[in-house]
Amino acid sequence: MLAYIVRRLLLMIPTLLGIMILNFAIIQLAPGGPVEQVLAKLSGQGAEISERITQNKDDLAPVSDTEASNTSKYKGAQGLDPELIKELEAQFGLDKPLHEQFIVMMGNYLTFDFGESFFRDRKVVDLVIDKMPVSISLGLWTTLLVYLISIPLGIKKAMRDGSSFDVWTSGVIIVGYAIPGFIFAVLLLVVFAGGSYLTIFPLSGLTSDNWDELSTPNKILDYLHHIILPVTAMVIGGFASLTMLTKNSFLDQVGQQYVTTARAKGLTESRVLYGHVFRNAMLIVIAAFPASFIGVLFTGSVLIEVIFSLDGLGRLGFEAVFNRDYPIIFGTLYFFTLVGLLMNIIGDLAYMLVDPRIDFESREG
């Protein structure tokens, strides 16, 4: 077991490095970096630029469009002093070759120094810590409800395969497959949150404006009142695949010889199902848990957080990509990828807890 864990931990190093290199290259190839973002804002704020140039006319004297276009690789740099562009590059750490930028970045990340946001004037670690409670809240509730719904439903569908119950629940599952969670989110907002029909739930946020003034029981009720719609949207969009995974896993096990033998011994159906089938069938469901949890926690809630104006990690990442805020993009990518790889190892260890017959020591490579 120890040797297997060490191998997996060592394998995380090239995996993490490869993911970072690939994403670093893709982000660098994408148009509109942080310098272009600043230049775009400057070009849309002519009065402020004029004032700044007037106050700093000796240092930031505008140049001709021809000179600017010949000396700058950035769109929107026409008419600005090339020295200003160099200052922006130095400020964002883009004045070095790409390979040096990457080496410096990864060296800092080894000590979990993710730097400071380009546009929020705060450390990335502080931003992540501030936003994490919202995403963890959504992720835990969604994962809990998805598993509480999907596993019993999948088991019942497997036990009643081909019945009317199996048919109509399959129709519900098809709807869950076909319609993305954010579409359900919009529908829930329109119907239940002050849209065209009912005004039962709040339109946005995770707490009310008077949260600090509420008593503890009222704070709990207020929190639940706000979280019902976003969690419902995420559960509807995420329960379908796990339900079918559970059903197919149980159907596969029910057809095995050991189940026939157990029934021949006179064991009750309940004893056969939960005493023998359940342990083996749940292996594949447990294997899917780490990826499912990480997906819900860090990626599945992006559009949900944006739609419901929830200030979580998904929205933070969305805005960082939109604004080309590299420290947030790469810092959160590094951290969440590392967490995801560790969760995969935890998933393997959970295998052994469910079925001690699995021997990791016998695995090679």
Please say if the pLDDT value at position 341 is more than 50: yes
Q: What letter would DSSP give residue 199?
A: B
DSSP character string of 211-260: GGGS-HHHHHHHHHHHHHHHHHHHHHHHHHHHHHHHHHHHHHHHTSHHHH
Position with higher pLDDT, 300 vs 32: 32
Find, among 347, 139, 149, the residue nearest to 244 by Cα.
Answer: 149
**Where do the domains of the chain lie?**
131-354
CATH code given to domain 131-354: 1.10.3720.10
Residue whose token pair is 């670690």: 125
Q: What is the mean pLDDT of residues 161-168?
A: 90
Instruction: List pLDDT tens digits, range 101-156.
Output: 899 999 989 888 888 888 888 899 999 888 888 888 888 888 889 889 988 898 88
The helix-helix angle for 326-354 and 278-294 (nearest 10°) equals 170
pLDDT in tens, 78-91: 656 677 777 777 77
**Pick from 299, 311, 330: nearest CA to 21:** 330
Chain-wide mean pLDDT for the chain?
79
